[in-house]
Amino acid sequence: MPMEYLKVIAVEMLPFDVDDEAGVDKLRVLEAAGMVEVQFTQERGSPARVVAITGLGRASLLAEVAKQVIRQRSPEVSSAWAALS
């Protein structure tokens, strides 16, 4: 899932290269969503370079953390939050 991959990217030292095809596909989705800046090469099988996580990407990561905190603190709020998701 691309959002889970964004969490992986967030702990890496940027820039870094991704050479596995599944990772590159996830980067394409994240880039299309405006969450990361990536440099892709024209050659198939060549690595993609993750340059940055955008403001939107960082905001999405923070929203995920906020959801987890809310779930842990209050079961009632957690069920209400789940109904909205």
Query: Which H or E run contains 47?
Result: none
- Report pLDDT digits (tens) over 26-68: 999 999 999 999 999 887 778 999 999 999 999 999 999 888 8
Mean pLDDT for 2-15 is 93
pTM value? 0.79
* Nearest one of 39, 30, 28 to 10, comparing CA atoms: 30
Q: What's the pLDDT at 79?
A: 65
Query: Which H or E run contains 49?
Result: strand 48-53
Cα Rg of the chain (Å, integer):
15
Q: What's the pLDDT at 77?
A: 60
Domains of the chain, start order: 2-84 (1.10.10)
